[in-house]
């Protein structure tokens, strides 16, 4: 059980760090511009508890898929994480595009594209911790 929890948190931390760098540093100016253009659509202070909960749920799904698939390597975990994030984040962004006009299509598509490797990083971390000390087949 400790290995399961450790794997989950390894995936969560790796995802949280890479997304933090991407959204908090690389995309910060672009996000500020989008928020300034549509102030009625954004909270003045984002509800970080919901950001954390969303990340926990998404990483939980990746963890579940890796465990159920019996992934035996970081590479296999990375593949599962990438596919899961494509489906999860892609569905989310496409739903946003379907119902709201304030998010530009290129912004949403870029979000999907960057979250695929972020999911791969999380999946690799999860599988690596789950299989730590085991010989690859």
Per residue in 80-90, pLDDT tens? 999 999 999 99
Is 82 a member of any domain?
yes
- Whether 107 is in a domain gets the answer yes
| pLDDT tens readout for residues 38-92 | 888 888 888 999 999 999 999 999 999 999 999 999 999 999 999 999 999 999 9
Total structural domains within the chain:
1
> Does residue 137 lie within any of the structural domains?
no
Domain presence at residue 17:
yes
Residue 135 lies in a domain: no
Residue 136 belongs to some domain of the structure = no
Return the pLDDT at 31: 86
Section 95-123 average pLDDT: 95
Nearest to 107 by CA among 130, 89, 85: 89
Q: What is the pLDDT of residue 116?
A: 98
Q: What is the pLDDT of residue 135?
A: 67
C-alpha closest to that of 130 among 14, 4, 2: 4
Count of C-beta atoms within a 10 Å radius of residue 23: 15
Residue % of the chain over a pLDDT of 70: 98
Is 44 domain-assigned? yes
Would 95 be classed as within a structural domain? Answer: yes
Instruction: Decide if 122 contacts 81 (C-beta within 8 A).
Output: yes
* Residues of the chain above pLDDT 90, percent: 77
Range of the domain at 75: 2-130
């Amino acid at each position: 059980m400790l290995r399961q929890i450790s794997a989950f948190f390894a995936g969560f931390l790796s995802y949280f760090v890479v997304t933090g760098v991407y959204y908090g540093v690389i995309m910060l100016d672009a996000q500020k511009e989008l928020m300034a253009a549509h102030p009625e659509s954004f909270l003045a202070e984002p509800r970080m508890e919901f950001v954390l909960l969303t990340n926990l749920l998404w990483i939980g799904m990746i963890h579940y898929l890796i465990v159920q698939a019996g992934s035996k390597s970081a590479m296999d975990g990375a593949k599962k994480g990438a596919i899961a994030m494509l489906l999860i984040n892609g569905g989310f962004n496409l739903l946003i595009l379907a119902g709201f006009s304030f998010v530009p299509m290129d912004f949403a598509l870029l979000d999907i594209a960057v979250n695929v490797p972020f999911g791969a990083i999380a999946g690799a971390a999860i599988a690596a911790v789950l299989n730590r000390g085991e010989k690859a087949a």
